[in-house]
Amino acid sequence: ADVDDWSALDDGSPIASGDVVARFTGAPRAVLTAERTALNFVQRLSGVATVTARYVAAVEGLSCRICDTRKTTPLLR
């Protein structure tokens, strides 16, 4: 399947309450098995992205920039 078949938002887009992040289909057991893990990843990565955006906004107009974030969870590299 094409990536556009499941991706509801462009990479880097802000997410607002009620936005659809992704759509997927499958066997009910497989969907329910994968749902919690996928939700945990989305929550973790969204949290990192939110804090990073705050740091970027805080240094706006200064002669520095945010160069690196840590979205990789130890032991999941």
**Which candidate in 71, 72, 74, 77 is catalytic?**
71
In the residue annotation, 71 being an active-site residue is answered as yes
For the chain, the straight-line distance linking the first and the last C-alpha, in angstroms and rounded, comes to 25
**Catalytic (active-site) positions:** 71
